[in-house]
Amino acid sequence: MEATGLSLLTVILFLPLVGMTIILFIPGDQGRNIRYTALGFSVVTFALSLVMWASFDPNVAGLQMVQRWDWMPTFGISYYVGVDGISLLLIVLTAFIMPIAILVSMASHIFQERGREKWYYLFLMVLEWAMLGAFMIQDLIVFYIFFEITLVPMYFLIGIWGAENRVYAAVKFFLYTLAGSVLMLLAILYVGNQAGTFAIPEIVSMVHSGALTFPFDGLFSTQSYLFLGFFIAFAIKVPLWPFHSWLPDAHVQAPTAGSVILAGVLLKLGTYGMIRVLLPIFPEATVAWAPIVAVLAIIGIIYGAWVCYAQDDAKKLVAYSSVSHMGFIVLGIFALNGQGIQGSILQMVNHGVSTGGLFLIVGMLYERRHTKKLADYGGIWKALPVFGAISLVITLSSMGLPGLNGFIGEFTILLGTFGSEVLGFFFALFATLGIILAAVYMLYMFQKVFMGELDKEENKHLPDMNWMEYAALIPVLVGVFLIGLYPALFFAPMNTTVMELAAQVGHFVTTVAQAVP
Amino acid sequence: MHTETYPQLVTLVILIPAIGAFINLFWGARLNELAVSAIATVASSLAFLVAVLLYAYLVNNNYQGVVVNPPLLDGWIRIGTSVEIPWQMRVDTLSVTMMLVVSGIGSLIHMYAAGYMHGDPMFHRFFAYLNMFLAFMLILVTGNNFLMMFVGWEGVGLCSFLLIGFWFDRANGVGWRNSNAARKAMVVNRIGDFGMMMAVFMIFWTFGTLDYYRPGEIANPGFGTHGAEAAHVEGEAVAAEGEHEEAAATTEATHEETTAVVEGEEAHGEAVAAFTNNDHIPTEQLGVFGKTMRWIEEGGHEVDFGPFSLPFETVLIIITLFLLLGATGKSAQIPLFVWLPDAMAGPTPVSALIHAATMVTAGVYMMVRSNVWYHEAALTSLVVAIIGATTALVAGFIAVGQWDIKRVLAYSTVSQLGFMVAAVGVGAYSAAVFHLLTHAFFKALLFLGSGSVIHGVEHGHHLAHEGHGHGDDHGHHEEAFDPQDMRNMGGLRRNMPVTYITYLVGTLALSGIFPLAGFWSKDEILADSFIVGFGEGQLRGYIAFGLLLIAAAFTAFYMWRQIELVFHGDARSDAARHAPESVATMTVPLVILMIGSIVAGFINTPANVLGLDNLFGAHRFTDWLSATVVNAHAGDFQWLLALIALGLALGAIFLARTIYGKASPLVGAEQRDPLAIGAIGRAWSLANARLYWDETYYRLFEGPFNAISRFLADTLDWRFWHDYFHNNVIRDGFNAIGNLLSKPVDLGIIDGVVNGIGRLTRWLSGAVRGVQTGYVRTYAITLLLGVVIVIVVLLLPLLQTNG
């Protein structure tokens, strides 16, 4: 399994770092060179991620393209990368979102105000490296390091190029996520200590062969505490209700690219972690806690959507919609069956594409009018017909219109929830109410901005879309339609891995039912 | 069994309008009006032509439907082996009926719209939407599984949204915009979609599939000898009807029949496939309906849902109730009908096509498609009958009190949909589809007629106020003058003779006057509910019959009120006085639809009525449908009943003529309705106020929803959770811990680090006002702590191995 030489994954992982190094040596006044270097490296990374997809074998459940080097052998820590059905699409998503984030930055005016363009793209490159690392790494300690490193460039992106309250938001973002992961670190150390290694696949096989057990006898026992140590870190990242109060600040203050990456990729680190760590390593605690987590997820779905409807700031509205949408993803994961988990993984991609797209739209509106207040718009469709039509498609995809991407994910998640051994009918019933509310707030926003009379003088002569904006939005549209019309393409690579995982966890449903009356 | 290429044509039915939409959406702006409307109309007509070919195919195939896998499409949602939902289509007598109605009426409305929308700056977009609507509607009716139906279901909802909000920049009354109406339609329908989604989940986990039928499966195993008899009579019937061939959808379809039937007769012997039932197919290879019949036959089936299991009968009741919720949304029934009257904000051709003839019947189609379930679920049937009949009556009552010409028709549509839904409730599935079909003709006719009237009055208004500078932005100075208010009309029969005559025929057809289309279909519904009630003693029958009979009287009354107010008497405004007749592209479809409204009823004339069955055959439509609809049955004609219904309708017309006729007190535009006096006046005011239905909903749901939304967003989430909890608990807690830890640890390093980070942040963030150093300090300490913990704990295993 272990490749000699450089695995494709290693190449993909370190390419952004090479890009960063090159940017470091470009003088700061050569904006054009900096921009295109960043764009070039991100595009090549995306292309290579597609090559990775093409050479991925969908019939293998375990890791592929593995590369492992000892790093701190005394502690059982290694550089260990690999890809399976769970991480494949998320790696591609990361590589897909990045060029879009760069394109929308190239079209932005923020550097005229804030300058330091070089540092901006430098941070973006570091961010891409860290995110790719978090999805590829199979060693808990190194995973933790990458998980945390993502905070640093994001902190600076928000803190330097953000809106009025940027420092407050940046610090809050940093603090919350960091505080959440302290417990995770402790849990990681405990697990590694018990297992004698930090390599996830080895720990998982020990757990399922019985060589390693974390004592479990109910909602409050050793395994459950470990579960919670990880869970809280991931839940804050997602963010799952009620851990969401950092999100509106971070999104509202972040520059457009920051919001796109935050919603598009960073939030998925939480849900990815749940699938990668919680389900296989703590299966009994997962089963026992699943209904409680699902209740939080459903509260998040409904609460987030309800809060959206009262927003007067477009960006804040989209931010809260993430709370609602991410609730669906968590729900699907804790349905603990193939449909739910596959739906969740696909929905992570969908949310990245659709909500990323919504942030692009809000950002493009902001570039033109320098306001995010819904009340300052109205009838924009008339002034910008193509932009209006694209926005409608993305709005509908976020709302879950069949034929577009969002529907496939939501449908599969809810289907899984309905048929879940641990959740079932009433969970599905309440979660499905979310689709009504999604229509309520998404159409509210669309109507406020794009429909109605074009009565404000400032809105009558908005500049048309430029090529960079087209280049950023068209891939989003391609994603929206491709996933919506041909989801089989996306389910195929994840199926084998997820089915094995679901079978592993499903094995514990009856045993836990006996342990926890 | 045999793979045929002929039914593959069904792909084209969807593809052609989709291509039309595509062309007009992307290139329409560069084409002129003629090209745009020609592309759209041709696309629609070609779809109709293909539907006719499919009709001929079914006749040849002894009415037996087939499942079609469209070329090039390899599955849709496929998750390993656990979920398999294909793009797959169904050609059978029910879907072809719907295809003919949708594309046939659709083509006429496209043609009409070319005249109606003339001069609109978004002309091409309008036709792109119309074609897009057709494509989705045809997906809805041709899909072979519930999820494809849902794709169409939502797609037509989207088109409805776009078209209601087509003039999205216009206001519609005080504080109400067209865009509000569009949003309302979509949101209310989403409530129905919630029911659809739940039903789909339940269907999947009950049956393991969402497919209606599997390839090779026979929809109605009981269908056989019946069809042959019917086909025999058809041949003669068609000959008599030949002269109307170009008239409209059904008649044109009948024409095809003449040739097709002859071949059908010959082919009959060998075309009856090797199997006439599904007994040779194992249960797990059947579609949902086949499985249902099998399980019911076997009895005692339980469905396991993981945490709990339910008897199969209970499952069916739950599924059908969820589906019903979906139907009340799309087919505008109580409690979700409130969106449809507002949907009239869309251009009139849209009202005719989407909000009268086709889309709103989707709920009826869906329930008829699922007739195997509704037939078994007695409780649901009762609910369906009550909802349908009540809606028919309530909407009919409200229609009496409306002044807006389109609003009357909107409530009338709600009411007629109630008839169809009630028909489903009493198990009269073929009567429901029959009424759906005839209604499509006369309601489309009436809406297009009202469009012609509005158009005329608008033009009349312009002509009367020549010099006020008419021109490009019409719709601006019309705020004072409402061209849809019937009080501004009167006497239009003189200026608009074609519109008048066609409208009159539509009115009579809708009122159920012999021998027009509405008479036959409405009578069948009434007769069936009568039998279920008085014959079989079932509650649903009594309820449906009683309420529908009254609703039928209301129908005739409000329609004739409209005739009097719009066309008879004297003109009550300059606009009405100067209104010109509409152009030919608009009047020709009116005439064709009028012919349809006259003859469409003959496709299902009952046996033994005035010897008509010798001419047209007896319940031919029911026979055709029963190849697919297992529980379709032909009702007996009830002479007494028919006479009572006819008498009621004529009486109501007479009454309306007396009240609103020549002696009408309504001579000026400002006058009150003659009914708005005394005790009846109070009832009329209620109808006029639409029973305060919207207001009640606002008070009960929308108001509280908004209030809770504001409370959650401002108070709970922001001021409490975001500000108070964060500042006082999380941040202060952090600071407290930070200070606590920093005191003993502080060797001057931390301050240095803190200041360093503070400076770095300040430098990087430019001119930040007041960096919160206390905050940064805490955060630095946290980082430091993190590092310390990592190092300490990493050393732990070493300690352990040593010890």
Q: What tens digit of pLDDT does each residue of B599-634 get?
A: 999 988 887 777 777 777 778 898 899 889 988 887
Strands (E), B43-118: 66-68, 77-79, 83-85, 89-91
By Cβ distance, the residue of B80, B705, B796 closest to A338 is: B80
Residue B318 lies in a domain: no
Contact A411 B78 (CB under 8 A): no
SS3 assignment for B182-203: HHHHHHHHHHHHHHHHHHHHHH
The lowest-confidence range among A103-107, B311-315, B728-732 is B728-732
Q: How confident is the model at residue A507 (pLDDT cuts 50, 70, 90)?
A: confident
B752 and B662 share a domain? Answer: no
Pair type for strands B66-68 and B89-91: antiparallel
What the block records as the tokens of B199 is 């039903």
**Mean pLDDT for the stretch of residues A402-418:** 95
pLDDT at B1: 40
Least confident of A24-33, A67-76, B563-572: A67-76
The least confident of A323-332, A433-442, A489-498, B163-172 is B163-172
Q: Is the pLDDT of residue B26 over 70?
A: yes
In this complex, which of B186, B307, B789 lies closest to A443 when CB atoms are compared?
A: B186
Strands B83-85 and B77-79, sheet pairing: antiparallel
Which positions in chain B touch A192 (Cβ < 8 Å)? 797
The CA distance from A497 to the nearest CA of chain B, in Å, is 11
Angle between helices B178-207 and B312-330 (to 10 degrees): 160
- Of the listed ranges A386-390, B505-509, B759-763, the one predicted with least confidence: B759-763
Residues B387-404 have a mean pLDDT of 95
Q: Are residues B694 and B589 in the same domain?
A: no
Which one-letter DSSP state was computed for residue B768? Answer: -
Q: Is B26 on the interface with A (CB under 8 A)?
A: no
Interface of B with A in 300-359 (CB under 8 A): 305-308
Question: According to the model, what pLDDT value does residue B172 have?
Answer: 74
Higher pLDDT: A126 or B271? It is A126
Q: Which pLDDT band holds residue B637 (cuts at 50, 70, 90)?
A: confident
Does the distance separating the beta carbons of A411 and B197 come in below 8 Å?
Answer: yes
Out of B716, B744, B772, pick the residue that ends a domain: B744
Least confident segment among B68-77, B743-752, B756-765: B743-752
Cβ separation B197–A432 shorter than 8 A = yes
How many domains are contained in chain A? Answer: 1
Helices marked H in A370-424: 380-383, 385-399, 405-418
The model's confidence at residue B389, banded by pLDDT at 50, 70 and 90, is very high
pLDDT confidence tier of residue B470, bands split at 50, 70 and 90 = very low
pLDDT over 90 for what percent of chain A? 71
Structure tokens at B680: 């009846």
Contacts of A408 in chain B (CB under 8 A): 77
Establish if B165 touches chain A: CB-CB under 8 angstroms. Answer: yes
- Residues B670 and B566 reside in one and the same domain: yes
Confidence of residue B676 (pLDDT cuts 50, 70, 90): confident
Q: Given this model, what pLDDT does residue A296 score?
A: 97
Share of chain B above pLDDT 70, in %: 81
Q: How many whole angstroms separate alpha carbon B603 and alpha carbon B623?
A: 11
Chain A CB contacts of B82 under 8 Å are 338-339, 499
pLDDT of residue B677: 78
Out of A236-245, B415-424, B729-738, pick the least confident.
B729-738
In the predicted model, is pLDDT for residue B253 greater than 60?
A: no
Cβ contact (<8 Å) for B169 and A451?
Answer: yes
What is the enclosing helix (H) or strand (E) of B311? strand B309-311
* B589 and B735 inside one domain: no
Give one DSSP letter per residue of B466-522, joined into a string.
TTS---SSTTSTTSS--TTBGGG---HHHH-HHHHHHHHHHHHHHHT-TTSHHHHHH
ipTM of this predicted structure:
0.93
Question: Given pLDDT bands bounded at 50, 70 and 90, which one contains residue A300?
Answer: very high
Residue B295, domain member (yes or no): no
On the question of pLDDT at B227 being above 80, the answer is: no
Question: With 80 as the cut, is the pLDDT of residue B159 above it?
Answer: yes
Average pLDDT over residues A466-472: 92
Q: Pseudo-torsion of CA B300, B303, B308, B314, nearest 10°?
A: -70
Q: What is the pLDDT of residue B478?
A: 44
Is A360 buried (19+), middle (13-18) or exposed (0-12) by CB count in 10 A?
Answer: buried
- Mean pLDDT along residues A66-76: 84
Average pLDDT, chain B: 83
Span A46-71, average pLDDT? 93
pLDDT value for B443: 95
Among candidate residues B648, B663, B688, the one where a domain is terminated: B688
Q: B189 CA to chain A: closest CA distance, Å?
A: 9
For residue B722, the distance in angstroms to the closest alpha carbon of chain A comes to 5
**What stretches of B272-303 show up as alpha helix (H) in DSSP?**
288-298
Query: What mean pLDDT, rounded, does chain A reach?
Result: 91
Binary contact (A245, B779; C-beta < 8 A) = no
Sole residue written with tokens 């202060």: B732
Q: Give me the pLDDT at residue A412, please.
A: 96
* B485 HSE (CA, 13 A, CB side): 18
B517-530 vs B497-511: helix crossing angle, rounded to 10: 10
Chain A contact for B682, CB < 8 A? Answer: no
Higher pLDDT, B383 or B2: B383
Burial of B803 (0-12, 13-18, 19+ CB in 10 A): exposed
Sign of torsion over alpha carbons B320, B322, B325, B330: negative
The first and second tokens of residue B381, run together, are: 């049937």
Contact B74 A488 (CB under 8 A): yes
Chain B residue numbers touching A245 (CB-CB < 8 A)? 717, 721-722, 725-726
Segments forming the whole domain that contains residue A348: 8-515
> pLDDT confidence of B742, banded at 50, 70, 90?
low
Per the structure block, which two tokens stand in for A257? 């690219």
Looking at the partner chain, which of B198, B776, B790 has a beta carbon nearest the beta carbon of A171?
A: B776
Tens-place pLDDT, residues A145-157: 899 889 888 988 9
Give the C-alpha separation, B263 to B563, whole Å: 47
Residue B539, pLDDT > 60, answer yes
Tokens, residue A119? 């540092």
Average pLDDT over every residue of B247-261: 42
- For residue B727, the enclosing domain spans 689-744
Whether residue A107 is contained in a domain is answered as yes
How far from each other are the two terminal CA atoms of chain B, in whole angstroms? 77
Q: How far is A439 from chain B (nearest CA, A)?
A: 6
Q: Are B415 and B391 in contact (CB under 8 A)?
A: yes
Q: Note whether residue A1 is domain-resident.
A: no
Tokens 């905050």 sit at which residue?
B775
Q: Which residues contact B576 (CB under 8 A, 6 or more apart)?
A: B457, B460, B488, B489, B490, B491, B492
Is A319 part of any domain? yes
Q: Quick one: B563 and B541 in the same domain?
A: yes
Question: What chain B residue is nearest to A455 in terms of C-alpha separation?
Answer: B169
- Which among A160, A451, A487 has CB closest to B179? A451
What's the pTM value of the predicted model, to 2 decimals? 0.90
Range name among A225-239, A338-352, A414-428, B303-317 with the lowest pLDDT average: B303-317
> Quick one: B702 and B754 in the same domain?
no
Q: How far is CA A147 from the centre of its chain?
A: 12
Q: Pseudo-torsion of CA B181, B183, B185, B191, nearest 10°?
A: -150
Q: Are residues B701 and B580 in the same domain?
A: no
Last residue of a domain, one of B717, B744, B771: B744
**Per-residue model confidence as pLDDT tens digits over A486-500:** 999 999 999 999 999
Q: Look at A227-241, A433-447, B601-615 and tell me which has the smallest mean pLDDT.
A: B601-615
Would residue A132 count as lying in a domain?
yes
Cα distances (Å, whole numbers) of residue B546 to A163, B390, B519, B527, B639: 66, 10, 17, 11, 17
- HEC string of B114-177 equals HHHCCCCCCHHHHHHHHHHHHHHHHHHHHECEHHHHHHHHHHHHHHHHHHHCCCCCCECCCCCE
Phi, psi of B687 (to 5 degrees): -65, -40
Residue B210 covered by a domain: no
- Are B596 and B441 contacting, i.e. CB atoms less than 8 angstroms apart? yes
Give CA B63 to chain center in angstroms.
Answer: 27
Given pLDDT bands bounded at 50, 70 and 90, which one contains residue B754? Answer: low
Say what the pLDDT of residue B796 is: 55
Res. B744 pLDDT band, cuts 50 70 90: low
- The label of the residue with tokens 């009572």 reads B644
Q: Is B239 in CB contact (< 8 Å) with chain A?
A: no
Q: Look at residue B122 and tell me whether its pLDDT is greater than 80.
A: yes
Task: Identify whether B539 is part of a domain.
Answer: yes
Q: What angle do CA A341, A344, A347 make, to 5 degrees?
A: 155
pLDDT given at position B765: 53
At residue B469 the predicted structure's pLDDT band, cuts being 50, 70 and 90, is very low
Cα A386 from chain centre: 28
b/e per residue, A288-307, with b = 16+ CB within 10 A? bbbeebbbbbbbbbbbbbbb
Please name the residues in contact with A429: beta carbons below 8 A apart, sequence gap of 6 or more.
B198
How far A296 CA sits from the closest chain B CA (Å)?
15
| pLDDT surpassing 80 at residue A315 | yes
Q: Would you say residue B234 has pLDDT above 70?
A: no
pLDDT exceeds cutoff 50 at B476: no
Question: Are B491 and B460 in contact, with CB atoms under 8 Å apart?
Answer: no
Q: How far is A195 from chain B (nearest CA, A)?
A: 11
Residue B502 within a domain: yes
Number of domains present in the structure of chain B: 3
As a whole number, mean pLDDT of residues B789-801 equals: 55
Give the Cα separation of A51 and A231 in Å (integer). Answer: 33
Q: Does B792 touch chain A (CB under 8 A)?
A: no
Task: Say if A96 falls within a structural domain.
Answer: yes
3-class DSSP assignment, residue A106: helix
Residue A3 lies in a domain: no
Rounded to a whole number of angstroms, the distance from the CA of B333 to the nearest CA of chain A is: 18
Pick the closest to residue B235 from B274, B263, B208 (CA basis): B263
- Does position B689 have pLDDT exceeding 50, yes or no? yes
Same domain, B560 and B647: yes
Residue B260, pLDDT above cutoff 80: no
How does residue B771 score in pLDDT terms, banded at 50, 70 and 90? very low
pLDDT at A515 over 70: no
Q: Are A265 and A352 in contact (CB under 8 A)?
A: yes
> Which of A270, A288, A346 has its CA nearest to residue A498?
A346
Asked if the structure places residue A2 within a domain, the reply is: no
- The Cα A324–Cα B194 span in angstroms is 17
* Closest-CA residue of chain B to A308: B713
Whether residue B262 has pLDDT greater than 80: no
Which chain A residue shows the shortest CA-CA distance from B718? A245
- Give the pLDDT score at A513: 72
3-class SS at A127? helix
pLDDT digits (tens, 9 = 90+) for B288-300: 999 999 999 888 8
Q: List chain A residues with CB under 8 Å of B170.
A: 453
Mean pLDDT of A391-409: 94
B652 Cα to chain A: minimum distance (Å):
42
CA distance B408 to A239: 50
What is residue A464's predicted lDDT score, i.e. its pLDDT? 86
The reply to whether omega before A153 is within 30° of 0 (cis) is no
Question: Distance between CA atoms of B426 and B409, rounded to whole angstroms?
Answer: 26
Mean pLDDT of B392-398: 96
* B170/A487 CB distance under 8 A: no
B170 vs A453: CB contact, 8 Å cut-off?
A: yes
Q: Is B501 among the domain residues? A: yes
- SS3 of A151-193: the string is HHHHHHHHHHHCCCCHHHHHHHHHHHHHHHHHHHHHHHHHHHH
